[in-house]
Amino acid sequence: MIWLLCAWGLALASEPAVEPVAEEPSAPSDPVGEERPFEITAEDPEERARQAEIRRLGEEMVAHATAGRQAALLRTYRSLLAVTSDVDPELHFVAAEAAVAHGELLYAVARLQRVQGGEREEEARGTLASLRERTGLVRLSAPVGAVLTCPPRFVPDEQAAVEAAAAELAATGAYLGLLPAVTCDVGGQAFDIPAGGRVGLVVDY
């Protein structure tokens, strides 16, 4: 049995509590730039320790980004979010870039939405607009081992998203994320992904 639901509007993405990412080699990314100054001003020892940890994690993210260690960068970013919600916009941006490289476009949207102020805000807005024009929000449910196929994509982030979605659906039987606005297929059932919209497909066989 198949249910297919479509609705316009791209939902705001939130950062899930757990985001496992396997370590893998990746090509070096562009350097993040000079580190933002971070001054420890608190008098309370516990708060001073927290601020020192925030600074350490920020410096670690910069080092990972400069060296192209994307999986390590994502782990450090999650650790940073667990300590503070007041994160430098630059760090949100580089975490979004790492998510794009892994095909996790919904995570990228959540992080780009957090880039408020700073030198990367305009670039973040442009990337968000591009994703809204080129992708749709997709929720899939199918038996484990189901095969997702989409036409070959020649835009790297779109191809990475399709490959990540296919792997997750086959392994878990479920997927929620952004995919290119094309016609895809699960278990022989074709469905259209509307740009800037949503589609849900449940395949039961």
CATH number of the domain to which 122 belongs: 1.25.40
Q: How many domains does the chain divide into?
A: 2
Same domain for 174 and 153?
Answer: yes
Which of these, 28, 17, 90, 30, lies nearest to 58 by C-alpha position? 90
pLDDT at 172: 97
pLDDT at 77: 97
Sheet of 189-192, strands arranged across: 148-149, 183-186, 189-192
Which of these, 121, 179, 108, lies nearest to 150 by C-alpha position? 179
Q: Is residue 25 part of a domain?
A: no
Amino acid in the structure at residue 183 = T
Q: Which two tokens stand for residue 166?
A: 């296919």
Last residue of a domain, one of 132, 150, 176: 132
Same domain for 128 and 53?
Answer: yes
Q: Is residue 20 part of a domain?
A: no
Amino acid in the structure at residue 166 = A
Same domain for 54 and 121?
Answer: yes
Same domain for 96 and 109?
Answer: yes
Q: Is residue 186 part of a domain?
A: yes
pLDDT at 52: 92
pLDDT at 38: 54
Last residue of a domain, one of 132, 149, 179: 132
Q: Which two tokens stand for residue 171?
A: 């392994």
Same domain for 94 and 170?
Answer: no
Please give the helix or strand (H or E) that residue 120 lies within, else none: none
Residue 114's Cβ-side half-sphere holds a number of Cα atoms within 13 Å equal to 21
Which pTM was predicted? Answer: 0.76
Q: Is residue 174 part of a domain?
A: yes
Spell out the per-residue pLDDT of the chain, length 205, in tens: 334 443 333 334 445 433 333 333 333 333 344 444 455 566 688 888 999 999 999 999 999 999 999 999 999 999 999 999 999 999 999 999 999 999 999 999 999 999 999 999 999 999 999 999 999 999 999 999 999 999 999 999 999 999 999 999 999 999 999 999 999 999 899 999 999 999 999 998 7
Same domain for 122 and 67?
Answer: yes
Q: Is residue 105 part of a domain?
A: yes
Same domain for 175 and 188?
Answer: yes
DSSP code at position 173: S
134 by DSSP, 3-state: which? helix
Which of these, 39, 97, 108, 25, lies nearest to 67 by C-alpha position? 25
Instruction: Give the range of the structural domain holding residue 127, as residue numbers without chain letter.
Output: 45-132
Same domain for 185 and 119?
Answer: no
Q: How many whole angstroms from its chain centre is CA 141?
A: 20
Q: Is residue 34 part of a domain?
A: no
Query: 168 with 152: CB under 8 angstroms?
Result: no
Last residue of a domain, one of 132, 161, 181: 132
Query: 97 with 29: CB under 8 angstroms?
Result: yes
β-bridge mates for residue 191, sequence order: 184
pLDDT at 119: 93
